[in-house]
Amino acid sequence: MKLNELTITELRTLLDNREVSAQDVLRDVQGRIDEVEEQVKAYVTVTRDEALTMAKQADETLAAQKGSLLTGIPIAVKDNMCTKGIRTTCSSKILANFIPPYESTVTAKLLDQKYVLTGKTNLDEFAMGSSTENSGFHTSRNPWNLQCVPGGSSGGSAAAVAANECIAALGSDTGGSIRQPAALCGVVGLKPTYGLVSRYGLVAFASSLDQIGPITKNVRDAALLLNLIAGHDPLDSTSAPVDVPDYAPYLGKEIKGLKVGIPKEYFIDGMHPEIDQSVRDAIRQLESLGAVPVEVSLPHTGYAVATYYILATSEASSNLGRYDGVRYGHRAKSKDLIDMYMQSRSEGFGPEVKRRIMLGTYALSAGYYDAYYKKGQQVRTLIKQDFEKAFEQCDVIATPTSPSPAFGIGEKATDPLQMYLSDIFTISVNLAGVPAISLPCGFTGDNLPIGLQIIGKSFDEATVLQAAYAFEQSTSWHTRRASL
């Protein structure tokens, strides 16, 4: 087996025992990028030279026996997290040549660990999308079927992990953008509780919903990465001042007696039948491990998509107002100030970003604010209360991650509503601010991955990881790899 096919945990042992070097690991990862990246298109920027320098430094650290958990581990970062001196584009032409003068908190924490940055991964422009087809540069492809999307908006990160073009990756999740592509690419994706991981240096889409999290090959690696990026950050005013436990001891704990909520609203007509069957089989597997299924109700689920696309677009309209062609980013050639503003934004933003800016601006406009934005906030409160009531009856909630497996490139590109419905099972989690993980639980007859979503109480990632690890270790779905 090649080194790029291993997990963080497996490589940690080899590196610490000096059986391989960080440069050996990077050589295999970069070899894989050379081999398949032209097909997968997971990256916007491959940091070949920077990675080699980082790998050499990691080897020096290891030789001095001062290594940490991520020392020498090649990790990809979604291209909406600022990396000092390295291009950060958000897959948008308006930021095509933007080089940040500072480091995001999460990548600074990885730098402290002496990780190796393989590159910045592709996404839907400004994280607005469910397929990476909205990227301003190119569409990433699903390693399981190159004619299918990898999901979005963290499609590049999920595809890179699934194709073994990195060992793990960071993504961001505003309405399902870590979990949905993880499900479609057959890997593990974790969205932490809002406020657990700093958003400082994450280019904002919808500030009350965005959250950074890991995309990995298994649950243990997700827990390990979360341990390292979580924690209070004074640079982020929304960062929660909570103690972060060590999640590792929860992996391997039995789940006998754990109450697993099954929401009837998440098993709906129109869902792909093989997904319905696989998720129900997964729930039965949890039951065989001692978990107790409990029927729960999340009655306002039907309003989640509409609520999300009012609130998220409103926040996007506000956040993207800063791209005016003056301070940074693309600037149109014009001698007239107002015309320069208009042309810069017209040339720099893609159609989906423009659509969401207009939706959000309308929802916030005079005469419509109360009818749309205010009402959306009220329904958001109801959705949050649904989860609070459900968690009075159970410890975690199990659902499908996506209503369909990976769909064909171009299949939903002309129908925004159908694309928006791709996140119907993930959006509520962001509105409520609670944690959730997606992990493989089966495959369709066409050999496309299916994801199980496990949702937890606020700041109870430990129980989510405990349940996910128990399921993962009792099945073999996570061991299957895409063959390109």
Closest CA to 32 of 182, 215, 163: 163
Does residue 335 have an active-site annotation? no
Does residue 207 have an active-site annotation? no
**Given the residues 78, 109, 120, 412, the one annotated as active site:** 78
Does residue 135 have an active-site annotation? no
DSSP-H helix ranges across 289-369: 304-319, 337-348, 351-364
Which letter does DSSP use for residue 370 in this model? I
Q: Which residues pair with 354 in a beta bridge?
A: none
For 280-310, give the secondary structure using H, E and C.
HHHHHHHHHCCCEEEEECCCCHHHHHHHHHH
**Given the residues 153, 154, 344, 404, the one annotated as active site:** 153
Quote the strand ranges of 354-463, DSSP E.
Answer: 396-400, 436-443, 449-456
**Given the residues 157, 177, 402, 438, the one annotated as active site:** 177
Bridging pattern class, strands 436-443 and 449-456 = antiparallel
Region of 382 (left: φ > 0; alpha: ψ -120 to 50; beta: rest) is alpha
Burial class (CB in 10 A: 0-12, 13-18, 19+), 308: buried
* Cα separation, 439 vs 3, whole angstroms: 22
Is 167 in contact with 4 (CB distance < 8 Å)? yes
* 168-172: strand order across its sheet: 43-46, 116-121, 74-78, 168-172, 212-216, 188-191, 436-443, 449-456, 396-400, 259-263, 292-296
- What residues contact 216, with CB distance under 8 A and at least 6 apart? 7, 8, 161, 168, 169, 187, 188, 189, 190, 222, 225
Q: What token pair was written down for 142?
A: 């699903």
Cα dihedral sign for 441, 445, 449, 454? negative
Name the residues annotated as catalytic: 78, 153, 177
